[in-house]
Chains A and B, each alone.
Chain A
Amino acid sequence: MTISPRTAAIYGLAPDRKYTREEMRLALHPDDRDRARNAAKAAAAAGTDYEIEYRVMHPALGLRWVAVTGRPIFGADGELAAMMGVVQDITDRKNAENVLRTQNEVLERHVAERTVKLRETIGELEAFSYSVSHDMRAPLRSMHSYAELLLEEHSASLAPAARHYLTRIRANAERLELLVRDVLAYSKVAKEEIELKPLDLDAFLPALVQQMPESHASGVTISIQPALPRVLAHEAYLSQIFTNLVANAVKFVAPGASPLVEIAAIRREGDVKITVRDNGIGIDAEDFDRIFQIFGRVHADRAFEGTGIGLAIAKKAVQRMGGDIGVESVIGAGSTFWFTLPKA
C-alpha cells in the first residue's frame, strides 16, 4: 500500500516505499491491532466510512495517538478494490485529555473528601442536638422537681420570700424547658430532609384547628374560609406553621379583647398565598423583619409568654417548602401574617 509523506512522518516510516498490510499492522501498538483490523473489516463489509483512534509505535518519538478516517473503495464490479484512509496525529489532544482527566479525578477526590467532612460536621451537629435533648434536660427536670417538692411539702416551714424564690426557680426551669424544646424544633426544621406532597387545605385545616387548645378557649373565634386550594407541602411543617401563627394571633391581643382569627388562602399565578389575620395589638413596621429572627421578641417576657422562636421556626419551615413569609400590620389594628406555598 502507498502512504503519504505526512502519514509516513506520523508513523515514523520511510516515505518512499510501499508497505504491506502486515507491515502497517505491526506499526500499531499490539493492544490496538485487532481493534483497528476489525473496524476496517466491518466498514468494508458494510460499505461505509469508519473512524478510529489508535496508537502507533513511532521509532523515534515513542507512542503517538492517531485518528484515522477510512473508506472502502469498490471497483466497477462492486468488489472491494482498496481502502483509503486519512491519518491525523492527535497525540497533543490525547495528552490534553489525559491532563484534564487527571485534574477531574483530583477534583472529584477533593469533592468526595469535602463531602465526607461535611457529613461528619452534620453528624456532630446531630449528636449535639441529641445531647441537648437528652443530657441537658435531665438536670433541668431534677431542678424543677426539687423546687416543686420543697413548695409542696415544706411550704409551711418556709419564709414567704423563700417560697417566692422557689416559685421563680420553678418558673425559670419551665421556661428553659420550653426554650430547649423550641431550639430543637428549629434545628430540626433547618436540617431535616423533607418531601412535598399535594395537600388539600380544605380537609387539613379544620381538623388541625380543631386540635389546637386555642380553638376551645373561651372568647376565641377562629374562622376558616371555605373552598381552600390544594398546595404542595410537608404536612408536619404546615401544622407547625399554622400552630405557631394561630397561637401568636390569639396571644397578642389587648387585655380583655376577644381574639378573632381568620384563615384564608388564594390561588395565584404560580403559588398559593395563605393569610392568618387577627384583631390583635399589631406590630410596628420597623419590627417586621426582627420578629422572624430567632429570639426576635419585641415585647418584654412579662407581657406575653413565649420563647421568641415560634416565628423563626415558621419562617424556616416555609422556606424549606419553597415559599416566603411576611406580615402586614398596623399598631392597634391587628396583623395579617401571610406565607406562600407551591400549588398542587
Chain B
Amino acid sequence: MNPTILLVEDNEDDAFFMRRALRDAGIENPVVHLEDGREAIDYLSGNGKYADRAAFPLPAIVFLDLKLPIKTGLQVLEWLRREPSLMKLIVIVLTSSNEPVDLKRAYQLGANSYVVKPLTGAQLLELAAAFKLWWLKINRPDSGG
C-alpha cells in the first residue's frame, strides 16, 4: 500500500492544482487534503474523528503551506517536531512566500525541504515529477519507530 501524502493547504485552487499535478506526475499515493493548521494537528495526533488510523493513516510526507488559518504552518511544524512519533515525518513546506525570514524559520523548525509555489502548470508538474523521483523513489526515509 502506498503511503499517504498529507496536503495542508487552505487555498482550494492551489490544492486543486497541486492534486492534479501529483496525479499527472503518475503519483498513485492517496492524498489527504486539510485546510487549516488545527485540522492538521488533529489529524496527525489522531484526535477525535481522526482516531481511526485505518481510515486516517499517518502520512509519510506532508506538504505544508505556511499561511494557514487557526494555526500557521510554522506552528504546525514546531508542534510536530516536538512529538516523538512525528519527529522524523518528512515535511515539505510549499508556500507562495519567498521571504528569507520564512525560509530561515521553516528550516530552523525542522522542515526537510522548502519550495515556493510555481506560477505555471508546467512548473507545478515539473515539481510534482521531481518530488516523485526524489522523495518517493530515491530518498530512504527512517520509517522505523
Residues of A that sit less than 8 Å from B by CB: 130, 133-135, 137-138, 140-142, 144-146, 148-149, 152, 173-174, 177, 184
Contact = CB atoms under 8 A, between A and B. Distances in A.
Given A134-B67, A134-B97, A144 B119 contact: yes
B119 A142 contact: no
B113 interface: no
Contacts, number: 46
A342 to B, nearest CB: 26
Nearest to A192: B100
Interface of B: 11, 13-14, 17, 67, 95-99, 117, 119-122, 124
Contacts of B119: 140-141, 144, 173-174, 177
B121 A142 contact: no
A303 B114 CA distance: 37
B14 to A, nearest CB: 7
Contacts of B97: 130, 133-134
A197 to B, nearest CB: 19
A141 B117 contact: yes
A152 B121 contact: yes
B67 to A, nearest CB: 6
Nearest to B21: A145
A134 B121 CA distance: 18
Contact of B96 (A138, A146, A149, A173): A138
A173 B120 CA distance: 10
Nearest to A148: B121
Contacts of B67: 134-135
A138 B99 contact: no
19 contacts: A133-B98, A134-B67, A137-B96, A138-B14, A141-B117, A142-B13, A142-B14, A142-B17, A144-B120, A145-B120, A145-B121, A146-B13, A148-B121, A148-B122, A149-B121, A174-B119, A174-B120, A177-B119, A184-B98
B22 to A, nearest CB: 14
Contacts of A137: 96, 117
Contacts of B95: 134
A63 B11 CA distance: 74
A133 B124 CA distance: 18
Contacts of A174: 119-120
Contact of A134 (B96, B120, B122): B96
Contacts of A146: 13
A149 B99 CA distance: 29
